[in-house]
Amino acid sequence: MTPALKLRAGRHTVEINRPDKVLFPQDGITKADLAEYYRGAAPRMLPHLRRRPLMMERHPDGIDGEGFMQKDVPDHFPDWVHTAELPKEDGTVTHALCDDTATLLYLADQACITPHRWLAKADRPDCPDRLVFDLDPPDRDFAPVREAAGQLHELLDELQLPSALMTTGSRGLHVLVPLDRRAPFDDVRAFAREAAELLAARHPDSLTTEPRKQARHGRLYLDVQRNAYAQTAVAPYAVRALPGAPVAAPLAWPELDEPGLTARQWTIRTIGDRLGHDPWQDAPRRGRSLAPARRRLAALRDGD
């Protein structure tokens, strides 16, 4: 058996056991490769993970084996991994918090290929600091996703809400809005739904808020369902459990116009140069209140 790979991260040395275990069989990408990627991506990734409860997508036998989603922290996790015990309908769940590089590496050792993060932080779990619109293509053509993202960006500008764009590494794009953590999830989801309905009304031939697939008739679904307590979204720079090991990559808005853009544009092997700069460096750091945007949205609805 190959000896464990020991990686130093801050005050901790993390052992990557079975480092030569192949997690992506078609690509020959091993657990050691995954850990080394996350060690390099940590400076970009951790600001988007700290203090947020996680859902871990684990694939101990590689992506061709049976994977599973895990919320509760197993007993064997080291005590230096930060956790948060949060309420659920029939009790509580103890979630991992990825606050440092060592934890990110430890998750890789556990074959957690993809960390999915809450849209709220653990100290105020009912009030998100992110709103997300999930845009997936209705078929294999990615052009409708790019078009919908641009239209959504224009609407958010009208509402004077800054927004950020990222590929999901899977099928589509996420458009995210930073919030001030004052509005509860129900209010945030209601606002997102109303904004989506206005956008769909402006573009009825290409966009819809209809959750039933059979009622969409080839139109792109403006999905706001992730804006709810305990729901998660893929973390920026996370690897997806798909052939090629694609990565969820933050984008600058002008990149939306690049004709070759796809959801799986970057992979664990090709994203290296992008880690050298932050496409979101010019995005506002302070979250916005939804109250003024809600008034603007009402005025736009009345005007339309």
What's the CATH code of the domain at 271? 3.90.920.10
Is the pLDDT assigned to residue 282 strictly greater than 90?
Answer: no
What's the domain count of the chain?
A: 2
pLDDT confidence of residue 283: 82
Q: Are residues 186 and 269 in the same domain?
A: yes
Residues 139 and 215 in one domain: yes
Among the listed residues 30, 28, 8, the one whose alpha carbon sits nearest the alpha carbon of residue 17: 30
> Does 236 reside within a domain?
no
Per-residue pLDDT, 303: 77
Domain finish residue from 118, 144, 169: 118
Domain finish residue from 72, 100, 118: 118
Q: Are residues 114 and 128 in the same domain?
A: no
Residue-wise pLDDT for 161-198, tens only, equals 999 999 999 999 999 999 999 999 999 999 999 999 99
Please report whether residue 290 resides in a domain. yes
Contact in structure between 186 and 192 (CB atoms under 8 Å): no
For residue 209, the model assigns a pLDDT of 97
Burial 39-51 (b: 16+ CB within 10 A, else e): bbbbebbbebbbb
Indicate the average pLDDT of the chain: 96
Tokens of 126: 């009912």
User: Do 133 and 246 fall into the same domain?
Assistant: yes
Range of the domain at 23: 5-118
Residues 111, 128: one domain? no
Q: Same domain, yes or no, for 183 and 89?
A: no
Tokens of 170: 């899977």
CA–CA distance, 67 with 117 (Å, rounded to integer): 18
The verdict on 209 and 78 lying in the same domain is no
Domain boundary among 102, 118, 134: 118
- pLDDT digits over 87-130, tens only? 998 999 999 999 999 999 999 999 999 999 999 999 999 999 99
Q: Is 69 a member of any domain? A: yes
